[in-house]
Chains A and B, each alone.
Chain A
Amino acid sequence: MSARRAPVPWLSVRPCRALADERWTVFSVERAPPAAELTVHALLRSEDGDDWEACGHYVSDAAGAVDVCEDVCVGGTYSGVEPMGLLWSLRPVPGSRPNLRLRKKDIGTPMVVTISLHQGFHTAGFPERRPLASLAVERWYLAPGVRRVELTEGGVTGTLFLPPGPGPFPAVLDMWGGGGGLVEYRAALVASHGFVTLALDYMAPKRSAGVVSLVGNDYFEAAFSVLQSHPQVSRDRIAILGLSFGASMALGLSVYSPAIKPSCLVCFSGSHVQPAGGSLGDIFAEFRKNSKNTRYDEEQQVIWRDLLLPIPSDPSKKVDVGRLCCPLLLIVGEDDQNWPAEESARDMKEMMDRSGNGHLLSVLSYPLTGHLIDPPYSPHCRASNFMTTESREKFVVLWGGQTPAHCGAQEDSWWKTLDFLKKHLCYGPQSDITSCP
């Protein structure tokens, strides 16, 4: 029998179809050349048609095997023992349009990431290279059975996500920040963990007769009421999850609106600095008033964090969080260049300690982490194109953060957020007796 060609290397990744926040339990290379320099490469084509890539350098063992879950990555777009590094270190390929941000719009289809294995250590030139092996993995924002329902009820616009089963379920009102329209992926992912979620569309300004106006507080009250009265929602187990403007609105509404009484609040990258009892439009007005505090970095990227600084001592200029009645989780990036989240969190803690409701506050503060704290394994976006809501001007905004730390914060804060929601929506008031698995 003539000599046979050696078997080709084989890549295995499991689960090959996973939720976007799921870790791989298997990521292995077999039958590669022994003690060889190898590169694993990831490629994702976004819905906008841009290519994103990442790579990691590994050395196979004597049997020609690599275990990405356990082995050390010695170079590439990430390093160390980082099983999920190929996802969170994704970046636009050279030659891409500048200042991109990766966000999935159609959450009914998965992100498809092509993972390939290459001989040698490489950081570029992958399209021209023939891989040793390749496969594709799917990353879904929706678990099977979770229903997506477009909502236009009682004047409220948004998207409702319903887990399978009879319910009733605890619920989460999900509010993103400015720019980019209605973002559903976080709400879809939270729903995949057993909550009814409402991704609320509230940023779209109304234009009539040449006047631009934003929604009033009654809009949010209507949204909260829609959730409360849904037949599959436990009306007394509703939380609000907000990021940026969404976090600020959540704080103000929870304190000042008699109709909005959430079981708990999770606020990412937000601030309590706003006219007390004011509206979304009032928050925008504050920013406009202080626009002279806008700064620019060496690449002329916009830093807006000073627009709300210094934190005022005048109580009429901030939400009186001392009156908050429910647990609050603040998630803060210490390198947030867009909002003064860290200073705000510090001030909120002082206010709540003074008021005697400091026990309701938990703060997760992450060094080298920026403003856009996304679900885990999302690529880090340090700066991106941004169009303001009212005036529709275009900027390149600096969000901040250093990739490895920022992505570590995304993962850590996500699971702590889900634990916090489960604790306060599912298990009710804590005692020293009950501890849930």
Chain B
Amino acid sequence: MLKAHSSVTALLRYTGISIPDKVATCRNITCMQHLFGAVRWRSKFTAAPLLTAQPARALIDEQIAIQGRFLPPHWPVTVRAHMHSEEGDLWEAFSHYKTNENGVVNLTTDHSVGGSYVGCEPMGLFWALQPAPSAREGLRLRKKDVETPYVVQLSLWEGHVSSSKRPIEDEQTAGRLAASTVERWYMTPHTRRVEIRQNGIVGTLFLPSGPGPFPAMVDLWGMGGGLNEYRSALFASKGIASLSLAYFGHKDIPGPLDELNVGDDYFRSAYNLLQDHPEVCGERIGLIGLSYGVYLVLRMATHIGVKPMCVIGINGPLGSYDKFPGIKSGDVVNYQMLDEHGNFSLRHFTMPSMIPKENQIKFEMLECPLLCIVGEDDYNCASMETANEIEEILRAAGKAQLFTRLSYPGAGHLIEPPYSPNARVSLWTVKPKKINAIWGGHPAPHAAAQEDAWKKMLDFIEYNLRK
């Protein structure tokens, strides 16, 4: 803002203001700049505060550089992010900074001193989003429609403010200095989304742009059921075809919604569908699973006669804690799967010693590399104990070279694509009464885990599916 060699005399001449006596003797530039900055910012010939975010249309896993400029130097400011989920809930985050001597705040390099996160966190405003005080309880932020972006409003405020002090409304402009809008996308243009309802398979196939053929992943989630598409959409945006496969709690799968009604044939069909797809390279297929999905992908890799090139397991058990198929989510009703606080947790039931032997994966049959991702604060699944056991079994079978573990202190169960908020606890069911699931994970370490794990997952997939 001010050149270092500017003279005090010149400053006085430019501003045409007289300096109070107590400052007259203080002739160093820093003091003058502080005074000058405050005066200059309020003059009619000065640039108004500006908030920029680049890129303004980004992929979900892309870092966005946020900067506030044309502010007084060494000034407290707040950057706020807010957005509405598809369900209409308001999510927001705040961060408290001080501008530098040039009146600039740069979220890529500066340290937040308060708010939703502290420290140097370029993407903190996104992963630290929390439901607003007025929002419903037990929420988890997940995108259903992956073909449209999250639209996030960013705003720059005077001083250190947050919702807990007073509600911040859009119309309330006092203290609001500047704003910017970003879009965060799960898909690149021309990534294709194809609904799959054939051969009894229920899923969504995402194909990268271009003729292919592409390496591919089968993507499985947990016993929450339904169909989560957002991880597959991101894989396809990076050149990896991906099939999000439903297997439980989906209206298009025959049978009771609260029971797992599909077996080995179902998963074999899904794998074959990918293998036979003209745009998929049939010999370059990998599997990824989260939670119960880990058991399922391991079963696919060892038990049903298909030969994937690699498997990624995130926070899952080494066997099915109940019969497969036939597992029922209604068993939560028995309160056996509630922890001492009344939250749904499978930690106890997924301890390796608790899994019936006949339901355990035969790891000695594993033929391909396995990446085990562990959140050490996982409250829902005994992920660390499971990883230890898997490593032991593979070592005993002379297959230690297949095993890689990523273990993240402070990270919880739901290790998802980066820069998304973690839900430590969220609503699991309302029947017969309201029960929350406890997932674990503390905001900052969980966010760091998501960012690191994502990069390493992509590297693992690239290495094993492209060579």
- Seen from chain A, the residues whose Cβ lies within 8 Å of a Cβ on chain B are 1-2, 4-5, 7-8, 10-11, 15-19, 31, 112, 114, 116, 130-138, 140, 143-145, 164-169, 194, 234, 236, 422, 426-429, 431-437
Given contacts A7-B466, A8-B213, A431-B14, 5 further A-B pairs with CB under 8 A are A15-B57, A130-B211, A145-B181, A433-B2, A437-B104
Known: A8-B213, A143-B56, A166-B177. A428 touches B44 (CB 8 A): yes
Could you tell me the distance in whole angstroms from the C-beta of B211 to the nearest C-beta in chain A?
A: 6
Q: Is the CB of A428 within 8 A of B188?
A: no
Could you tell me the distance in whole angstroms from the C-beta of A171 to the nearest C-beta in chain B?
A: 12
Complex Cα distance, B284 from A158, in Å, reads 55
Complex Cα distance, B149 from A144, in Å, reads 11
Q: Is the CB of B283 within 8 A of A136?
A: no
Shortest 3 CB-CB contacts between residues of A and residues of B: A428-B45, A145-B181, A165-B179
Complex Cα distance, B56 from A18, in Å, reads 8
Which of A2, A10, A11, A168 counts the most chain B CB atoms within 10 A?
A: A10
B215: nearest residue on chain A (CB-CB)? Answer: A7
Could you tell me the distance in whole angstroms from the C-beta of B108 to the nearest C-beta in chain A?
A: 15
- B3 proximal to A (CB < 8 A): yes
Complex Cα distance, B283 from A11, in Å, reads 22
- B296 proximal to A (CB < 8 A): no
Which residues from chain B contact A427 at a C-beta distance below 8 Å?
45-47
- B193 proximal to A (CB < 8 A): no
Complex Cα distance, B59 from A284, in Å, reads 50
Residue of A116, A140, A433 touching B57 (CB-CB under 8 A): A140
Q: Is the CB of B180 within 8 A of A426?
A: no
Would you mind naming 15 contact pairs between A and B with Cβ atoms under 8 Å apart?
A2-B283, A7-B215, A17-B57, A31-B466, A116-B210, A135-B190, A143-B181, A144-B56, A165-B178, A166-B177, A168-B48, A169-B48, A194-B50, A422-B47, A435-B3
- B198 proximal to A (CB < 8 A): no
Q: Is the CB of A437 within 8 A of B1?
A: yes
Which residues from chain B contact A18 at a C-beta distance below 8 Å?
55, 57
**Contacts of B351-384 to chain A: CB distance below 8 A:** none
Which residues from chain B contact A7 at a C-beta distance below 8 Å?
215, 281, 284, 466-467
Q: Is the CB of A433 within 8 A of B11?
A: yes
Residue of B1, B239, B467 touching A436 (CB-CB under 8 A): B1
Known: A131-B210, A144-B151, A433-B10. A166 touches B189 (CB 8 A): no
Q: Is the CB of A164 within 8 A of B180?
A: yes
Q: Is the CB of A433 within 8 A of B189?
A: no
Known: A136-B190, A144-B182, A422-B47. A131 touches B177 (CB 8 A): no
Complex Cα distance, B467 from A321, in Å, reads 68
A22: nearest residue on chain B (CB-CB)? Answer: B55
Known: A16-B189, A136-B190. A131 touches B211 (CB 8 A): yes
Complex Cα distance, B14 from A297, in Å, reads 56
Known: A144-B183, A145-B153. A433 touches B44 (CB 8 A): no
- B344 proximal to A (CB < 8 A): no
Which of A131, A166, A435 counts the most chain B CB atoms within 10 A?
A: A166
Which residues from chain A contact B281 at a C-beta distance below 8 Å?
4-5, 7-8
Known: A135-B210, A427-B47, A428-B44. A166 touches B176 (CB 8 A): yes
What mask results when residues 136 to 152 of chain B are scored 1 for a CB within 8 Å of chain A, else 0? Answer: 00000000000000010
- B342 proximal to A (CB < 8 A): no
Residue of B48, B104, B177, B210 touching A133 (CB-CB under 8 A): B210
Which residues from chain A contact B466 at a C-beta distance below 8 Å?
7, 31
Q: Is the CB of A166 within 8 A of B181?
A: no
Which of B50, B155, B211, B467 counts the most chain A CB atoms within 10 A?
A: B211
A423: nearest residue on chain B (CB-CB)? Answer: B47
Could you tell me the distance in whole angstroms from the C-beta of B86 to the nearest C-beta in chain A?
A: 18
What mask results when residues 1 to 22 of chain B are scored 1 for a CB within 8 Å of chain A, else 0? Answer: 1110010001100100000000
Complex Cα distance, B51 from A428, in Å, reads 20
Q: Is the CB of A114 within 8 A of B190?
A: yes
Could you tell me the distance in whole angstroms from the C-beta of B225 to the nearest C-beta in chain A?
A: 32
Complex Cα distance, B55 from A19, in Å, reads 10
Q: Is the CB of A16 within 8 A of B45?
A: no
Complex Cα distance, B12 from A431, in Å, reads 13
Q: Is the CB of B48 within 8 A of A144?
A: no
Main secondary structure of the interface of A (DSSP, over half): loop
Complex Cα distance, B157 from A165, in Å, reads 11
Residue of B69, B151, B155 touching A437 (CB-CB under 8 A): B69
Q: Is the CB of A135 within 8 A of B3?
A: no
Could you tell me the distance in whole angstroms from the C-beta of B212 to the nearest C-beta in chain A?
A: 6
**Contacts of B94-143 to chain A: CB distance below 8 A:** 102, 104
Q: Is the CB of A433 within 8 A of B177?
A: no
Q: Is the CB of A16 within 8 A of B181?
A: no
Complex Cα distance, B43 from A236, in Å, reads 13
Could you tell me the distance in whole angstroms from the C-beta of B177 to the nearest C-beta in chain A?
A: 7
- B321 proximal to A (CB < 8 A): no
Could you tell me the distance in whole angstroms from the C-beta of A40 to the nearest C-beta in chain B?
A: 13
Q: Is the CB of A15 within 8 A of B55?
A: yes
Complex Cα distance, B208 from A16, in Å, reads 14
What mask results when residues 146 to 176 of chain B are scored 1 for a CB within 8 Å of chain A, else 0? Answer: 0000010101000000000000000001001
Complex Cα distance, B55 from A143, in Å, reads 10
Complex Cα distance, B213 from A370, in Å, reads 45
Which residues from chain A contact B56 at a C-beta distance below 8 Å?
19, 143-144
**Contacts of B265-308 to chain A: CB distance below 8 A:** 281, 283-284
Complex Cα distance, B70 from A165, in Å, reads 15
Which residues from chain B contact A234 at a C-beta distance below 8 Å?
44, 48
What mask results when residues 204 to 241 of chain B are scored 1 for a CB within 8 Å of chain A, else 0? Answer: 00000111111100000000000000000000000100
Complex Cα distance, B48 from A234, in Å, reads 10
Complex Cα distance, B50 from A143, in Å, reads 15
A143: nearest residue on chain B (CB-CB)? Answer: B56
Known: A7-B466, A144-B57, A144-B183. A112 touches B213 (CB 8 A): no
Known: A18-B57, A130-B211, A437-B104. A164 touches B153 (CB 8 A): yes
Which residues from chain A contact B408 at a C-beta distance below 8 Å?
none
Which residues from chain A contact B182 at a C-beta distance below 8 Å?
144
Complex Cα distance, B132 from A279, in Å, reads 56
- B185 proximal to A (CB < 8 A): yes
Could you tell me the distance in whole angstroms from the C-beta of A121 to the nearest C-beta in chain B?
A: 20
Complex Cα distance, B50 from A429, in Å, reads 19
Which residues from chain B contact A169 at a C-beta distance below 8 Å?
48
Residue of A140, A144, A167, A433 touching B3 (CB-CB under 8 A): A433
Complex Cα distance, B214 from A435, in Å, reads 52
Complex Cα distance, B40 from A1, in Å, reads 72
Q: Is the CB of A426 within 8 A of B47?
A: yes
Which residues from chain A contact B209 at a C-beta distance below 8 Å?
134-136
